[in-house]
């Protein structure tokens, strides 16, 4: 899993760098040449969608999302595991719904051959961030839950 984590991190770094360069170039172009690159807003917005989902998946693995542990801190290890499984099932259901509707959206974009307005790229490529991100989140959340389960079994504290 370490290789996959590093790959995700490098994808995030690369996408953020591309967004920064595009945005900086567009600002310079507006100030120096009084014109704007028409594609930068579209591209940066769509790349940001990929960044959000990949970043959310990475945070899920590390249990980095905000949580409410006031009640679970006082539970026995047995009930902490029960709550962990319940939360895992709820988050999985949530991301399965996003995955399902995201795939429907991508299939519709592909079927109708929709194109992005500024660049004319196939819309499904940009829309693929939704089902891909949902899948990654399911995978990474369960990876994080298993890490927590092992920690609880070993007698450690929940993060």
Reduce the DSSP state of residue 7 to 3 states and report it: helix
pLDDT band with cut points at 50, 70 and 90 for residue 158: very low
Reduce the DSSP state of residue 122 to 3 states and report it: strand
Question: If 0-12 CB within 10 Å is exposed, 13-18 middle and 19+ buried, where does residue 5 land?
Answer: middle
Average pLDDT over residues 75-96: 95
Digit-coded pLDDT (tens) for 109-142:
999 999 999 999 999 999 999 999 999 999 999 9
DSSP line for 50-84: HHHHHHHHHHHHTT-S----TTGGGS-HHHHHHHH
Residue 156 in this model has a pLDDT that exceeds 70: no
Question: If 0-12 CB within 10 Å is exposed, 13-18 middle and 19+ buried, where does residue 136 land?
Answer: buried
Q: 37: which DSSP letter?
A: -
Do 54 and 11 touch, CB atoms closer than 8 A? yes
* Domain locations in the chain as residue ranges: 2-153
Reduce the DSSP state of residue 134 to 3 states and report it: helix
Listed residue (156, 158, 153) closest to 78, CA to CA: 153
Helix (H) or strand (E) holding 100: helix 77-111
Digit-coded pLDDT (tens) for 55-84:
999 998 887 777 777 788 889 999 999 999
Query: What is the rounded CA–CA span in Å between residue 24 and residue 159?
Result: 38
């Amino acid at each position: 899993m370490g290789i996959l984590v590093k790959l995700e991190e490098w994808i995030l770094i690369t996408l953020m760098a591309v967004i920064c360069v595009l945005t900086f170039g567009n600002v310079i172009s507006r100030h120096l040449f009084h014109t704007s690159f028409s594609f930068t807003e579209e591209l940066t917005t769509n790349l940001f969608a990929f960044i959000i989902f990949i970043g959310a998946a990475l945070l899920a693995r590390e249990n980095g999302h905000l949580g409410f542990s006031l009640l679970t801190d006082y539970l026995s290890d047995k009930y902490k595991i029960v709550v962990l499984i319940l939360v895992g099932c709820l988050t999985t259901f949530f991301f399965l719904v996003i995955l399902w509707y995201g795939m429907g959206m991508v299939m519709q974009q592909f079927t109708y051959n929709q194109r992005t307005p500024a660049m004319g790229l196939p819309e499904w490529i940009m829309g693929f961030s939704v089902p891909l991100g949902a899948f990654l989140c399911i995978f990474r959340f369960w990876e994080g839950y298993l890490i927590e389960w092992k920690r609880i079994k070993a007698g450690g504290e929940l993060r």
